[in-house]
Structure 1
Amino acid sequence: MKFTVRRLGIALAIGCALMGGGCAPPQEHLFIAGERTPAPGASQVDMLVATTRLPSPVPGEMFGADRGEPGFAQIAISIPPDHKTGQVEWPRQVPADPERSFALVKAEMLSRHSILATFQNRLAKGQTRSVLVFVHGFNNTFEDAVFRFAQIVHDSGTDDVPVLFTWPSAGKLLAYGYDRDSSTYSRDGLERTLDYLVADKSVGEISILAHSMGNWVTLEALRQMAIRNRSISPKIKNVMLADADVDIDVFRTQVNAMGPSRPAFTVFIDDDDKALAVAKILWGSKARLGDFNPNAEPYKAFMEQNRINIVNMTDIRTNGWIDHGVYADSPRIIREIGQQLVSSQALKDQRVSPIDSLNLATVGVVSQLTGLNLASPR
């Protein structure tokens, strides 16, 4: 009984810290009609959006936390000239100041027919036939997801067509159960989105980057695809799982259900991830995929047999103490991901700077992370 109370106390303490210095932007309802012109020297990220969120009646919110049928949009975000890699300069006023913060340039809801036509046009005009799909995690509003993905696309330097899949997270720390159900609710929506991309003949390769609870949505969608189609399309080449809030034993069953014809998986782990520590307490889980011990059995053998690559981010330090977003907060990590998205060179141990204290644990491959070889055909 004392142990249970102590664990609950730890969870509440961390929860209070998260509430005091969490990930939510200081200003909400940013998607208003008064769009901004990018500042001189600013960059711009244009993304397409697929969502299972219901359109919001709240002015400036665009999509809220309620569940709905699949919806679509196109959004453009400007990045300020003095942007620092690994950070999101959140707007502190409405409309945003594009000189100092991320700012909305364009936001338009689209029909399914319109989004497909827009996507086709984007591929025809672009320099790549590759697509990067991002699936956000727990406690993310629509605004959180859009601004974080814009930062990832910009900081990684990728020219892949960015597609955001956003599911109806409540964006509230104490809505963990609602978010978990919403993520499960959204697995069909993500599967359909991936089906659209696979069926498009102009698409060359598809990479997926998932964070936190978004890994559950991603793995369930891929598992369903494998069962429904008897395999996963070879177009889906690489799946990156960061800070995965998924029980590791469940992950093993999901991978087994996908069969041998599956994407290359790279798992980003962090033993200091305090958000996952809370998740283990809530679920009574021995290990989450995002913080398991890669040298412990039977996990080590499973990863080796299935050639699943591990990137251990435990020693990397960023500005926050929660350590539940190192993959995007660390300039080194996000740049390395980007290099693999734009080149055919594999990430090797010796290329990593000791300044960042990056501990790369390669599983199934002696010296290279083939799961991060995300190059598109040129």
Structure 2
Amino acid sequence: MQITLTHPADDARAPRKRFFPLGLAFGLLLVLLVSACGQRPGPEVIYPHPATVEGARTVTVYVATTRERAEEPIDGFTPEREDDLSYAEFVISIPPGHDPGEIEWPYSRKARPEEHFTVLKHTALSKAAFDARIGRAARATGNGVAGVFVHGFNVSFQEGLFRMAQLAADTNVSGVPILFSWPSQARLLDYATDKESATFSRDGLTDVLDQVTALSSVRSVMLFGHSMGGWLTMEALRQLSLEDNRRALGKLNVILAAPDIDEDVFAAQVDVIGPLDPPLLVMVSGDDRALGFSRFIQGNRQRAGQLDITDPEVLEMAERKNVALVDISSVSSRDALNHSRYAALAAIYPELDEDTELGSMARRPGARFLDAVGRTANPAATAETRGAAGQ
């Protein structure tokens, strides 16, 4: 994978459009409905299958969730809300032929580890056990890095779990993967309910971030929020700031991918949170169809994940508020909605650390384009940086 970061002044793009045609909205709805008609994994895919195969990798994912525990423990967690946080540990086998960016779904309780992501072990944890295992795992990494992933709208527990495993496998770095799973209904027409459930989970995510950053063996936490999970992430950061929890905020390295947040609300959240170090990094793309539909159903209010970085007002806002906007529209998308490009970019996340060449450019306040060219199936491929990000 070849990566280029350029300043918007180096790229001639059309100005931002502030209208959303009705015909396009119906077209997007049709795409969304067709996409939702495909087979989706049920809870049976997380049933433990204790055998793996030669050449497979294993990833241990720690879970903190505001979902209700299923009546049968083997089923994991439901889409319903629970006042108290629940914790768990999942050991997942990644097949030898895994294609980076993809999840090789079993779609049945008879997973074949040679071909599919396979849950080897599922353990319910107490809060104390969760903290102890995270602390032990962070010490074992040698770098004290943990990663917290907050999924988006229309995501079941098993989908969020396997996505976290995919991201952990594809980053090719040692770190402690933690999934924060909020009670999405995992139904396309439950957007409003999901938004309320994400809001319900603000205190839960705030508590988890406080827990994890309080562990002495955890030196830094990459906090990654996707779509509606970006809204939830920003609300938790806002709460930490209001509580003046500088210790927690000081350990966070925050990335938002396609955040489904009203642009004015996003600006207000940033004002309360204050400048982060490293700066908040936001991945945007103007052709994100899922965000386009979200914009349509919410009064044509621009979403933060669709900000046009060639707009002088957007660029000025980003620089003034210490936010790094990176346009990833040129990255190849494997979904029809162009909403999940972040999954294919997992291999470069370690390079977004502020101490790396790519990270030092991407993390400067302002806006840049990320150009991914020549993507290869070789999972050992590294990100190469070229070009400059002029200020």
TM (norm. structure 1) is 0.86
Structure 2 CA distance for partners of 1:87 and 1:294, relative to 1, 3 Å: same
Of 31, 55, 61, the residue aligned with 1:14 is: 31
RMSD over aligned CA atoms reads 2.8
User: Secondary structure at the residue paired with 2:223?
Assistant: strand
Matched, 1:83 2:98: yes
Alignment match, 1:374: none
Alignment match, 2:57: 43
Q: Is the 8 A contact 2:334 2:340 kept in 1?
A: no
Mapped to 2, the partners of 1:196 and 1:4 lie a distance apart of 46
Structure 2 CA distance for partners of 1:227 and 1:351, relative to 1, 3 Å: closer
The alpha carbon displacement at 1:202 in A equals 1.7
Q: Is the 8 A contact 1:280 1:287 kept in 2?
A: yes
Matched, 1:196 2:211: yes
Alignment match, 1:63: 77
Matched, 1:287 2:308: no
User: Secondary structure at the residue paired with 1:29?
Assistant: helix
Matched, 1:134 2:157: no
Matched, 1:336 2:348: yes
Amino acid at match of 2:30: A
Aligned residues: 356
Structure 2 CA distance for partners of 1:58 and 1:367, relative to 1, 3 Å: farther
Q: Point out which structure has higher relative CO (alpha carbons under 8 A, 6+ apart).
A: 2
The alpha carbon displacement at 1:174 in A equals 1.1
User: Secondary structure at the residue paired with 2:153?
Assistant: coil
Structure 2 CA distance for partners of 1:257 and 1:234, relative to 1, 3 Å: closer
Structure 1 segment 220-369 matched on structure 2, within 5 A: 220-229=235-244, 231=246, 233-260=248-275, 263-328=278-343, 330=344, 333-340=345-352, 344-347=356-359, 354-355=373-374, 366=389
The alpha carbon displacement at 1:61 in A equals 2.2
The alpha carbon displacement at 1:316 in A equals 2.0
Structure 1 segment 150-169 matched on structure 2, within 5 A: 150-169=165-184
User: Secondary structure at the residue paired with 2:89?
Assistant: strand
Q: Is the 8 A contact 1:207 1:238 kept in 2?
A: yes
Of 213, 216, 227, the residue aligned with 1:212 is: 227
Alignment match, 1:181: 196
Moved more, 119-128 or 339-348: 339-348
User: Secondary structure at the residue paired with 1:218?
Assistant: helix
Mapped to 2, the partners of 1:123 and 1:321 lie a distance apart of 37
Q: Is the 8 A contact 2:66 2:181 kept in 1?
A: yes
Q: Is the 8 A contact 1:222 1:232 kept in 2?
A: no
Structure 2 CA distance for partners of 1:58 and 1:105, relative to 1, 3 Å: same
The alpha carbon displacement at 1:5 in A equals 6.0
Alignment match, 1:372: none
Amino acid at match of 2:227: S
Mapped to 1, the partners of 2:323 and 2:240 lie a distance apart of 19
TM (norm. structure 2) is 0.84
Q: Map Cα deviations across residues 313-356 of structure 1 (whole Å, 9 max, x no partner).
A: 1122233221110011x2xx221113346974434599965335
Amino acid at match of 1:228: E
List alignment gaps of at least 5 residues for structure 1: 369-378
The alpha carbon displacement at 1:286 in A equals 2.9
Q: Map Cα deviations across residues 82-128 of structure 1 (whole Å, 9 max, x no partner).
A: 11111100013213110100000111111111111222222233322
Q: Is the 8 A contact 2:223 2:253 kept in 1?
A: yes
Q: Is the 8 A contact 1:294 1:300 kept in 2?
A: yes
Q: Is the 8 A contact 2:97 2:115 kept in 1?
A: yes
Task: Give me the identity figure in percent.
Answer: 31
Q: Is the 8 A contact 2:63 2:179 kept in 1?
A: yes
Q: Is the 8 A contact 2:58 2:92 kept in 1?
A: yes
User: Secondary structure at the residue paired with 2:374?
Assistant: helix
Mapped to 2, the partners of 1:4 and 1:235 lie a distance apart of 43
Structure 2 CA distance for partners of 1:232 and 1:215, relative to 1, 3 Å: farther
The alpha carbon displacement at 1:152 in A equals 0.5
Q: Map Cα deviations across residues 10-63 of structure 1 (whole Å, 9 max, x no partner).
A: 3431332221347x33x542232x433221100111111110001012564211
